[in-house]
Structure 1
Amino acid sequence: MPGAIDRFAARIWFAACSPTVSGGVILPFRHLSAVPVIPAVAGNGLVIFGFWLFRVGARRFHTVFGSWLAA
């Protein structure tokens, strides 16, 4: 239906907020770990995953369908 809001895109954006926030919360505390590389990689990985989900939601919102790998 033209002009209809794609609610699935909004759900993807909402789901993208969790890993992005979680990664942002982990990153400032990497100095508390004995091996600071592990929290840095985990935090940055979650942030990148969240940004990827934002991109998937934007593609869905603009009706650019395709595989999730294309995003």
Structure 2
Amino acid sequence: MANKAIVTLAVGHAYSERFEQFCRKNWMEYAARHGYDIVVFKDPLDRSERVAKRSPAWQKCLVLSQP
């Protein structure tokens, strides 16, 4: 595992499918070329009621707290 990663959120079936269809191949090639890992979160990092009222983009603030 690399010590650098490109991280994204693709929460929900529609976004997951779009990521797989349009992004994964190029991202994997880029990551391999530059020594990065790809990390795709397909489930919300926080499922609390408070977070449910916010844009999914807020989940990005929690990425560094994940193992």
Instruction: Give TM-score, length-normalised by structure 2.
Output: 0.35
* Higher Cα radius of gyration: 1
Higher strand share: 2
